[in-house]
Structure formats: structure tokens, C-alpha cells
Chain A
């Protein structure tokens, strides 16, 4: 154990003393999240919305003026029929339509509940989600107010419809995408490089001619990067929740568990690369072209996989990032639980076990 700890300590010295790399490793996820976040999020102040009021009663008018009064919305149009909705969106100015059903007020006073439909143009998914979130907040605020005034438990149910992009592809999905990229980069690239560096400087030679078991060398290499990855996951999640207002809808514990699983997959890949190469350059090249590109291209993060030609769709199945990305976006954005992602989790676990087994088998106890 002491042997192992001193190994880990040594790895930390390496990381700490290479300030530039450390800065990149910790700064990169922050930069990526911020760049993606602000590049994709439009200003939602005074967004033009339309109202289709099928009831025209006191409550709907009060709600409409409440929406108008908030700094987010600007009611640009009154609609008169269901058919107008499509037209309003086509005209291109309207981002969100609020639909009040008939007898809104009556339903509310007789049954204590009523509902409102929010229809958003999800071709710009970021804006769409932001707007529906804001609108919901305004409606909730109204509901709470009348509940307090009249001392009756009112509920107004909001129902969403996302037009043009129902699954919100490309929306907050960059957050799990960036997580996949960062984990891949930190774990795969850095483990591969640090091991190969020891081969280049000859320290691996000395290490091999010592009683240390190769497995220990491997695990000790992995631990610091596992920790770095956890720091990165934390900073990404904090940033997305508090700076970009991207909520974590599902279970945080599940998300962290899946992320650690994917970290281990990436570490295993890094180890495999390191045992197949002898120079830092080759290791970097393989990591970037062989892993980083597929992660970006074939994980579904940048480009929807459903739209790809069959061969690419098939290939995408062996990209671990695809599975992780699917899991992370399901948990984080759709708020799904393990029941919905157990299959993907199983596949990712299978890949990890396989890669680790190969990596450990392939790790050379001799040179060349």
C-alpha cells in the first residue's frame, strides 16, 4: 500500500509541476462550457410571443398581462384560431405561443385546476427551453399568488409542445457532450501520454526492473486522472447549473456514477494506446484522431446519429462516447432514471471491462 501511495504521490508531483498542462486540463472544460453556453444561448429579453386566448376571461387576461409585464416577453400578436399558430411561427418572429383553453377561469374556480399549453419553436432549442422555463415560472408565480389570496389549492398545469425539434436536439445537450469530450481528453490522452513519457525518458525501464507489479503502475497512473476528472465533472455541472441555468433533471448520483464509469472506459483506452506506442507524439496523434474525432462526430453530440448513413450508424455503436452521451443527456436533460438507461449502462460497462482486460493483458512486462 505504501508503495502504491508513493506512486500516486509521484504522479501528483508530475501533474502539479507541469503548470501549463494542469492549467489546460482544469481550464479547458470551463472554457468549453462557457463558449458553448454563450454561443448557443440567445438573449431572451423581450422575446416576441403570441397568445391564443380561447377563453378571454378575467384569469386569462390577468395572466397575459403578467406575461407582458415580465421583462422576458413581449406579446406581439393575438391569435384567433389553432391555424394561426402555424402561420405565426412561419412568419418567423414569434418564438412561443401561449394557448388558453376554453373556460379556463371556470375550470379553475370549479375544479381548482386548469391548464395552459406552451408551444415553442424548438429549431433554436436553447431559446425554446429557456422561454418555456420562464413562461412556466411566470404562470407558477400567478398560481401561487391566487392560491394565497383565495386560500384554495389551485393548480395550473402547463403543457409543452416543442415544434420542429421535439427532442430538443442540440440544446443543453452540449453539456453532456462537453463532459464526454473532456473526460476522453483528460483520461485517455493524459494517461497515454504519461505512460509513454516514462518509456521515452527511460524511467519505465527502471520501473520494470523493480519488484513493482505492472498492475500497480497502471492503477497508480490512473488514480490522479480519475480525481482530475471528478474535479472537471464537478466544475462542468456547477457551471451549467449556476451560470447557464441548465438544470439537472434526473438523479445527480446516477449521473456521477455513469460519468465515473465512462472515466474508467477512457482510462482503459489510454492504457491500450500507451502499450501500443513508444512516443508521446504517436500517442497524442492516435488519441486525437482515433478517439477524439469519433467522440465529437459519432457520439450524437454534434450531429444526430439518426441522420447518418448506415455504415456510420453501425460504427457509432463502438464509440463508447455515444453510449455515455446518450446516458448523460437522458439523465441530465430528460430526467430519466436508471430504468431507462440500464441497457446503455450495461453496454458501457461491458466495453469498459473488455478494454481494461485487454489493456492489462497487453501491458508489457518487458521492453519491445
Chain B
């Protein structure tokens, strides 16, 4: 982890109608960091993440991702990031190889690069013999691991993970986190949301959003200390219970 700030957000705000979905949040994410982005349902996580991915224009405030401005250079941002969510990840009716090819193709990678890296990837995931099988036939855990690999296939500087481990069995969940650690060790910044509070402990730093604002941001151990909590679960409950709003 270096001290280069790869994401900066400064009083970033998004208003829908009269509703402040994201209310002036400011934070930095350092290069190579695993940054946990927590919050209750409806706290504004998804909206904030969309703005950072260049999918949604902020109402006010400023932010840069990988050095690019979210207002002016959303296309450059999209080229520098990877994205994976629990809901949408891979095409079920394409084979593993076809999925990899498709996503790599989107980012304009050369055939040689794709071929070389696909072979390595399939070997790493022990999927060599299943490369031509439909993604549909894979168990959920494998799909999620494959989806993560595909999201970082084009070697982005940052990867956004939206509840990547929902519903996954505990062994695969750990394997998944080991993959995240490896990606972070190779220099990719990881920006992750989760509902599993033990996973919050795996992050270098964690922010907790309540009612559109960032209520706390620190390392897990510092958060536990300052809130006199035994676990991140307790930290989260103490902060999020303050929430007054309930609609998305």
C-alpha cells in the first residue's frame, strides 16, 4: 500500500428530487488498499458507488477516480476500473472461455494478451478442463470467483465489488477473499461492499454510511477501539442504529 490517493471524493452529493441520497461525503482511498464500504440498506452506498464508477453524475461536490474527474472523464474512469456485483456478473449461456473473451474484448485487449492470460487464469482457478462449459453449469462459488477474475482480467487500477460474496458457502467465501488479497498485493485497489461483518475485518480501512453521510472511517481495529466494541458487527450496529431514514 502506498500513500497515492487513487480515489478522492470531496463533498460528493447526489440529490434525487428533494432527497439527498448521498449527502456531502468526503474520503480518500489509497492505491493498493482494500477499502470496505459499508452501510445499511438505503444508506446511499449504491448511489455513491455509481458516481465513482462514472455511471451517475453527482449533483455537487467533486471526485476523481484513478486521476480522472467524474464529471469530465467518465469514459476514462470506466477504462481504468473493473466492476463485479452479486446480481450481474457473467453470461450464463456463454461458456467460461467466451465470457472471458467477451469482457477482455470490451477493454480492447490484444488477442495475444487474451490468449496468454486466459490460459493462466484457467489454470489458477483449476477450470482448465471446464473452459468450454456453460457458466450456468458451474456452482455459485465458482461463478463468483470466475466473475472476480474476469473483472480484473484487463488489469484495472481499481476494482469495485458490490456484495461479491452474498450467499456463497464459507469455504468459497474465504477462497474469494484470498483472491482479493492477491489482487491487492499485485497493486489493484479493491473497493468492496458486504453485509458480512466478519469480512469488514478483512479490509484495510472501512467506511460506514448512515443516512447518506459517512459516519465513521478508519481501520477496523481503530473503529472497534473508539466505539468500545468487540467486533465490527457491534461497530456497525452502534452506528447504523442511529439511522432515521428507511426508504431507498
Please tell me whether chains A and B touch each other in their complex, using a CB distance cut-off of 8 A: no
